[in-house]
Amino acid sequence: MKLTRISLWHVPLTSHTAYYMADGKTCDTVETVVVALETDTGLTGWGEVCPIPHYLPAYARGVAPAVQEMAPVLLGADPVGPEALMTKLDKHLQGHVYAKSALDIALWDLTGQAANLPLHALLGGRRAETMPLYHSITCVAPDEMARIAQTAYQSGMRQFQVKLGADGDWQADVARLRKVREAVGDGPLVYGDWNCGATSLDASRVGRAVADLDIMLEQPCATIEDCARVRDATGLPMKLDENAHDTASLLAGHAQGCMDAVALKLSKFGGLSATRRARDLCLHLGAKMCIEDTWGSDITTAALLHLGASTDPARVLNVCDLSGYVAPRLAPDGPTRDQGRIAPPDGPGLGIQPDKDVLGPPDLVLD
């Protein structure tokens, strides 16, 4: 099998609810990049990457130039066994892991289709039929956030990510966490996420003010050291996100004692190949994992669900149905949430078929 054509689309995804986060970050309408790798056998592999603006050193319009740079290595290559080809791409173009993420997902899709197996069978074997989801709550008024949480709870959700810091008012953040905890009652997981937007002082004040509650904190500060300082000051468990992006950062978070949980996002690490290696390291380090991606629709959602399903369920804190937060849906056969849980697709490879009518004509074709 040989790769014969690369096609790329830019698709605006509009959130059902605008997501407000600390430090001016938002998710309202965000551009996702879809990549199709065609072969001489008629099989097509699909990949997707959707960087959130101001979130990581990545941007959607940087994907196409990177793909053009890597095209000479891709075209004519055998796609089966993604890690071999990804190693060649890493030597050809250092870094740019977010752009490589979409390509890696598409290569895994092709490998699964060639083997006539779903990806979870190739990523370690299916360990779970379904996986828990979390519901992300935009940072608005505390009472409205409590209402959103209660509605999600009634639909079966039992894990709630409470966005904090959008107004720079630490006391309002205390109210957000207290009201959401009250709305969902004891038992469900509630964690407050600043997306790096807090100082260690303000995050510590919030954490101490809710220390009587069952609360976890997520990535309050921009550095692992400051996150560790907040964990030490509050005694509350900590989840890392933005700071966790490669082997060195995972080891650093573990060494600092602030990685009780960690977000493994495909585009941060560079696709399924690299995130699987991160998953296996976290199994050794003892951290619970949120297996997800930065943003996106059905393609990246399917990919992360396959990785989640092949991971020890005792170590999967949650996964994310990114496609459930946005429109349009890119694949009509994509998985959907059911009572707070979700299952990976069953078909070969990713197990989904993107709708070319939704995608429209490609913005870039290389052959």
The single-letter DSSP state of residue 217 is E
Instruction: Give the number of other CB atoms < 10 A from CB of residue 212.
Output: 8
Catalytic residue among 100, 179, 265, 268: 265
pLDDT attached to residue 310? 98
Helix ranges, the chain (H):
63-74, 82-92, 97-115, 119-122, 142-154, 170-184, 200-209, 224-234, 247-256, 266-269, 272-285, 298-309, 356-359
> Is the per-residue pLDDT at 73 higher than 90?
yes
Q: Does residue 24 carry a pLDDT above 90?
A: no
pLDDT value at residue 17: 86
Is 288 catalytic? The answer is no
Q: What pLDDT score was predicted for residue 19?
A: 82
Tokens read off for 275: 């995130």
> Please, what is the angle between helix 97-115 and helix 298-309, to 10°?
70
Q: What is the pLDDT of residues 119-171, one digit of tens each?
A: 999 999 999 999 999 999 999 999 999 999 999 999 999 999 999 999 999 99
* Average pLDDT, rounded, for the chain: 97
- The pLDDT value recorded for residue 27 is 82
Considering the candidates 25, 163, 179, 268, report the single residue annotated as catalytic: 163
Burial bucket for residue 77 (CB in 10 Å: 0-12, 13-18, 19+): middle
25 is catalytic: no
91-115 tens-digit pLDDT: 999 999 999 999 999 999 999 999 9
